[in-house]
């Protein structure tokens, strides 16, 4: 694996040009380039040498994964010390004409510390350069996502076999998270959402002590993290023998919107057109109020990455970009439906979009 | 409760002086002053008006707790939009001469956006002003911490009654986290650490698939979050009928160090002297290598707050400051001992330090 990380750093080095060095501080970016991101670690990509700066002894309080063995690691004595990072930054970057930093992540305090320790070093903005490198995934990354999706499918499948009526949202969410780990996840990809009755269909609902009741819609959204890669799946079920008419009607609309979004996942399609494809179905059925500001988003080392599938998003889909498609409708006081898959954009010759989360999207009555 | 948050904002306003407004972005600080911190929300404390700026509709993807009802809440259309925050900041702060921002939390990008949208507004550094207000807790906060500690004691107590040999660190950690929630926690205060055999005694050890074996030391560190307030408890046990001599000896030393640290928790004592009291016991017994850089830290809305109980820390303890005391020794390849309590500093007339985590510190053989 060491070569993979070295190759990624090389791509960043090319981006910086011959005179520059880069200081990468955003944890997912550090992990992408170094193989691991111990708490508070920053990565210096120098002109010739790369160094991972860790504020504490490695092995203690580190995140999952191990730093690339081919990478020099320097331990800083002062935990989280801005000055220490700045000093080490100066040492590595001294041969460089400028140091590109992640202004969207670096704090003003740390930026000042860098400027004062190395006053002759010009600080520039790396902007979202590493995020852009992360957009298109290699097959190794996609296979981690595939496993992360499989784990989430398994956890969800087991939940569906258990008795649900009378259990609280909070307990169902905990049980799902335990099952994720049982099936090999590092942990949940994000806080598991379980929403019953009037809560159903709300994006990002935090589980409460409300219990599942007969006749409820039940929306579940969960994901696994596997070797750092994060999947997402969301399904809505109905509790009891048969769904009410309004439930069937609402489900069909959201299902059609989600399918339209999935079918729009073709390389070259504008992000906003994917959003429009799904949103149009909801609009046409009269659900225009309170829709989420986006239909989906990229996933990878973070659960919410570029691209954004939203009306104002700029850019076009590439092959090998994993995204979620997750339209939903929530009717205040009644509940709603949300259907969410993780897919990888593939060209038609490769069979079209690859669905990673394969749990059925029929409206199941549990 | 609304008055409590308003009073806290008033104290911050006094700190800013008559010409200033403050933009609070660090989530725990927002929560302290506003009662809740929806994802990405920032709080503007103006000269006369305070506004909570939320990037998404409130009620969706918000953290636990509700914003103070007496507080104006403005929803920003662009999720996480730096420009939108800057614009709103300008509107509220326009009557002010300067706007104090949290440079240790604010990103360079957002700082630039503020400066460009409101070029005539002088930006200053609020520094850790809100963190300083948070240092001494009121009795309401301490009672939340007391409940958070009680929940952690209960979860730990139940674990001790179960069979441990053969179970993995990862599963024991998950079970503890489930029990925390069963007993009313919002969730774990931090990732639960379970360390067996050679892993035992390491601070912040991430659970692995190693199974508990006869003769192991087992170190457990967990905490509950209750209404946002976070407790911490750490204990070390021995697995099997009777501990080995080296285990008893090591345990006695760490126990004595931890007691010395606890007994040093008197208002007016320098932070570094608490650290020294505990560290001296370990030093004197010959354990000088690989000790943690600190003996304890403050707890509250974050699990790791001011003060730091460390050799170079500046400042003195006040009454009503909750801290951990958590010395440990780890012998590479063999394991070690860590004992960790959450206590509140109280003056002698009030009975001395109040121990919140009351699980026994005898060396139990399980």
Determine the residue among A66, A107, A308 to mutate to test chain B binding: the one whose Cβ has the most chain B Cβ atoms within 10 Å: A107
Q: Do B60 and A205 touch (CB under 8 A)?
A: yes
Backbone φ, ψ for residue B338 (5° rounding): -145, 130
pLDDT tens digits, A167-210: 999 989 989 998 999 899 989 999 999 999 999 999 889 999 99
Q: Domain boundary at A107, A134, A161, which?
A: A134
On whether both B183 and B239 belong to a single domain, the answer is yes
Whole-number pLDDT of residue A56: 61
Average pLDDT over residues B112-136: 90
Give all strands (DSSP E) within chain B, no chain letters: 20-24, 42-45, 50-54, 72-75, 98-101, 122-125, 187-188, 193-196, 217-222, 224-226, 229-230, 233-238, 296-298, 305-309, 322-325, 328-331, 335-338, 341-344, 354-355
Helices (H), chain A: 2-16, 27-34, 82-93, 108-117, 129-135, 139-160, 169-182, 245-263, 271-284
Same domain flag for A201 and A299: yes
pLDDT, tens digit, 9 for 90 and up, residues B198-233: 999 998 899 999 999 999 999 999 999 999 999 999
Residue A359 CA: distances (Å) to CA of A160, A364, B65: 11, 11, 33
Chain A nearest-CA distance from B190, in A, is 12
A187 falls within a domain: yes
Residues A256 and A216 in one domain: yes
* Beta-carbon separation of B203 and A60 below 8 A: yes
Distance of CA A363 to the CA centre of its chain: 26
| Chain B: residue whose CA lies nearest to A123 | B108
Q: Domain total for chain A?
A: 2
CA distances to A346, B4, B24, B35, B47 from B7, rounded to whole Å, are 56, 5, 16, 12, 14
Chain A residue whose CA is closest to B26: A107
Same domain, B6 and B75: yes
- Minimum Cα–Cα distance from B200: chain A residue: A60
Does a structural domain hold residue A44?
Answer: yes
What is the domain range of residue A348?
136-355
The answer to whether residue B364 sits within a structural domain is no
Q: Answer whether residue B234 shows pLDDT above 90.
A: yes
Separation CA B332–CA A236 (nearest Å): 50
Q: Is residue A320 part of a domain?
A: yes
Q: Is residue B361 part of a domain?
A: no
Which of B108, B170, B171 has the CB atom closest to A108's CB atom? B108
Contact partners, residue B200, CB within 8 Å, separation at least 6 = B216, B217, B218, B219, B236, B330, B335, B336, B337, B338
Is the CB of B167 inside 8 Å of chain A's CB atoms? no
Q: Please check whether residues B142 and B276 belong to one and the same domain.
A: yes
Q: Which residues of chain A have pLDDT under 70?
A: 1, 56-65, 75-95
pLDDT per residue over B213-222, tens digit each?
A: 999 999 999 9
Both B153 and B202 in one domain: the answer is: yes
Q: Does residue A361 belong to any structural domain of this protein?
A: no
Residue A157 dihedral angles phi and psi, to the nearest 5°: -60, -40
B69 vs A211, residue with greater confidence: A211
Pairing status of strand A122-125 against strand A98-101: parallel
Residue where a domain terminates, one of B109, B134, B159: B134
Region of residue B261 (left: phi > 0; alpha: psi -120 to 50; beta: else): alpha
Residue numbers in A near B205 (CB within 8 A) = 60
CA distance A94 to chain B (A): 22
A249 and A161 together in one domain: yes
Q: Are residues B164 and B39 in the same domain?
A: no
Mutate to test the interface with B, among A66, A109, A171 (most CBs of B within 10 A): A109
Q: Cβ separation of B108 and A103 shorter than 8 Å?
A: yes
B53 vs B104, which has greater pLDDT?
B104
Q: A185 and A110, same structural domain? A: no
Q: B19 versus A210: which is more confidently predicted? A: A210
Question: What CATH number does the domain containing B39 carry?
Answer: 3.40.350.10
Domain boundary among A134, A162, A178: A134
Nearest by CB to residue B293, choosing from A59, A79, A205, is A79
Question: Between these two residues, B156 and B47, which has the higher pLDDT value?
Answer: B156
Residue A366 lies in a domain: no
Which of B107, B184, B205, B225 should we substitute to test contact with A (largest number of A Cβ atoms within 10 Å)?
A: B107
B191 and B332 housed in the same domain = yes
Same domain, yes or no: A199 and A128: no
| B236-259 residue pLDDT tens | 999 998 899 999 999 999 999 999
Residue B63 has pLDDT above 50, yes or no: no
Contact list, A202 vs chain B (CB under 8 Å): 59-60
- The reported pLDDT for the residue numbered B62 is 43
What would the pLDDT profile of B76-109 be if each residue is shown by its tens digit?
Answer: 655 456 666 666 666 655 667 888 999 999 999 9
Q: How close does chain B come to A349, measured CA to CA in Å? A: 36
How far apart, in whole angstroms, are the C-alpha atoms of residue B288 and residue B286? Answer: 6
For residues A184 and A285, state if they share a domain: yes
| pLDDT at residue B57 in the model | 54
A311 and chain B: CB distance < 8 Å anywhere?
A: no
pLDDT, mean of residues B110-132 = 89
Q: Does B58 score more than 60 pLDDT? A: no
Structural domain includes residue B360? no
Average pLDDT score, chain B: 90
Dist CA A281 CA A263 (whole Å): 13
ipTM: 0.79
CATH code, domain carrying A213 = 3.90.230.10
């Amino acid at each position: 694996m060491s070569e993979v990380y070295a190759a990624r750093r090389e791509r960043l080095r090319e981006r910086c040009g011959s005179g520059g060095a880069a200081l990468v501080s955003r944890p997912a970016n550090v992990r992408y380039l170094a193989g691991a991101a111990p708490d508070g670690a920053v990565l210096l990509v120098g002109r010739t040498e790369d160094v991972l700066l860790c504020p504490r002894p490695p092995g203690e309080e580190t995140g999952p994964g191990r730093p690339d063995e081919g990478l020099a690691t320097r331990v800083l004595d002062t935990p989280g010390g801005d000055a220490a990072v700045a000093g080490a930054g100066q040492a590595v970057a001294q041969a460089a004409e400028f140091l590109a930093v992640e202004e969207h992540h670096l704090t003003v305090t740390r930026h000042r510390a860098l400027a004062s320790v190395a006053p002759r070093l010009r600080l520039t903005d790396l902007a979202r350069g590493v995020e852009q490198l992360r957009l298109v995934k290699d097959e190794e990354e996609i296979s981690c996502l595939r496993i992360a999706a499989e784990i989430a499918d398994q956890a969800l499948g087991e939940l569906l076999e258990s008795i649900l009526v009378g259990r609280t949202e909070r307990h169902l969410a905990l049980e799902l998270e335990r099952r994720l780990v049982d099936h090999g996840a590092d942990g949940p990809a994000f806080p598991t959402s379980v929403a019953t009755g009037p809560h159903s269909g709300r994006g990002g609902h935090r589980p409460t002590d409300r219990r599942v009741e007969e006749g409820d819609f039940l929306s579940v959204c969960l994901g696994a993290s596997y070797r750092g890669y994060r999947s997402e799946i969301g399904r809505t079920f109905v509790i009891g023998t048969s769904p009410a008419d309004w439930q069937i009607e609402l489900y069909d609309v959201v299902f059609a919107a989600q399918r339209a979004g999935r079918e729009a996942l073709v390389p070259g399609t504008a992000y906003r057109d994917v959003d429009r494809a799904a949103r149009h179905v909801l609009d046409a059925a009269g659900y225009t109020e309170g829709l989420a500001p986006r239909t989906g988003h990229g996933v990878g080392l973070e659960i919410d990455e570029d691209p954004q599938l939203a009306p104002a998003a700029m850019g076009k889909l590439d092959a090998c970009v994993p995204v979620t498609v997750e339209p939903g409708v929530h009717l205040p006081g009644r509940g709603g439906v949300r259907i969410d898959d993780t897919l990888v954009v593939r060209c038609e010759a490769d069979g079209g979009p690859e669905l990673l989360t394969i749990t059925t999207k029929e409206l199941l009555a549990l």
